[in-house]
Amino acid sequence: MRELDSRLIAEAVADMCVRANTVLPDDVRAALDLARRDEDGEAARGILDTIIENYRAAGPVPICQDTGLACVFVEVGQDVHISGSLTDAVNAGVAKGYTDGYLRKSVVRDPLDRVNIDDNTPALLYTELVPGDRVKITVAPKGAGSENMSRIAMLKPSDGIGGVRDFVLETVRLAGPNPCPPIVVGVGIGGNFDKAALLAKKALLRPVGSHNPAEMYSELESELLTLINATGIGPQGLGGRTTALGVNIETMPTHIASLPCAVNINCHVSRHVTEVL
């Protein structure tokens, strides 16, 4: 049994919070550069130029002023023992990262009284037990502008692939300019009400441009991307060919009487950093 000091987790999370908010992942950079090359609208090209200039200049400061809720995904190997509390370590890391990194603290202690906690905790922590003796941590800050545009539907099985397609497109159209397009669209299909939403969020952790290994869903990802970009919403909602940079679908088995479908939208600042301890 391998021993892992929880303080190492706290240190890693603190560093990852800062890096996730100040350095755009290579896959998103490449997707934005490709979108700029293919865009032919003057306004859209200008917006994409500004987005690209912003991520290149960000460096030590956040790419976006909304440094988001700290969504932390942890895969814990069943042959590793963490000394101390994993939850406490993750929260300590988030507090340190957001405070020492001068990141905006956006968490309120209660949904209705709206008093700021002032250290951006608690993290939204998702844990999974996996084989091995390592701990894989992914920090994915999530801003409210895109999160607020996400939706879930408990479709009927008879709605089939057409119902899924229509729901995703409807969600993007309703979102319009609000999630700061060009967006990345995560889609979760299957499970139950809550699991579909988690699948949609985890779909956003996949690299932009990657595809679901199942041919049917890979084809649906490509079809949805084409249809979304044909809406003409465009960068920042001002028109153009680039409404989305990618569509990622994740699925799992479900009940014979259910077809849950969730859509979780990310803005063009699609942030995620992963480390293995």
Taking alpha carbons only, the member of 169, 196, 162 closest to residue 185 is 169
What does the mean pLDDT of the chain come to?
97
Tokens of 118: 């002032």
Helix or strand or coil: residue 262?
strand
**14-62 pLDDT tens trace:** 999 999 999 999 999 999 999 999 998 899 999 999 999 999 998 789 9
Instruction: Kindly report the backbone phi and psi dihedral angles of residue 247, in degrees, each rounded to the nearest multiple of 5, phi listed first.
Output: -130, 120
Residue with tokens 């009940």: 255
Distance, in Å, from the CA atom of 2 to the CA atom of 272, rounded to the nearest integer, reads: 27
Tokens representing residue 17 in the block: 């919070």
Render pLDDT for 125-145 as a digit per residue (tens, 0 to 9): 999 999 999 999 999 999 999
- Strand, coil or helix: 98: helix
Where b means 16+ CB within 10 Å and e means fewer, 41-77 reads beebbebbeebbeebeebeeebbbebbbbbbbbbbbb
Q: Per-residue pLDDT tens for 189-216?
A: 999 999 999 999 999 999 999 999 999 9
How far is Cα 41 from Cα 233, in angstroms, rounded to an integer? 12
Neighbours of 199 (CB within 10 A): 23
Rounded to two decimals, the pTM is 0.96
Name 186's bridge partners.
248, 264
| Paired sense of beta strands 259-266 and 151-155, if any | antiparallel
pLDDT tens-digit series, residues 66-79: 999 999 999 999 99
Q: What is the pLDDT of residue 60?
A: 87
Which residue from 127, 225, 141 is spatially nearest to 181, judged by alpha carbons? Answer: 225
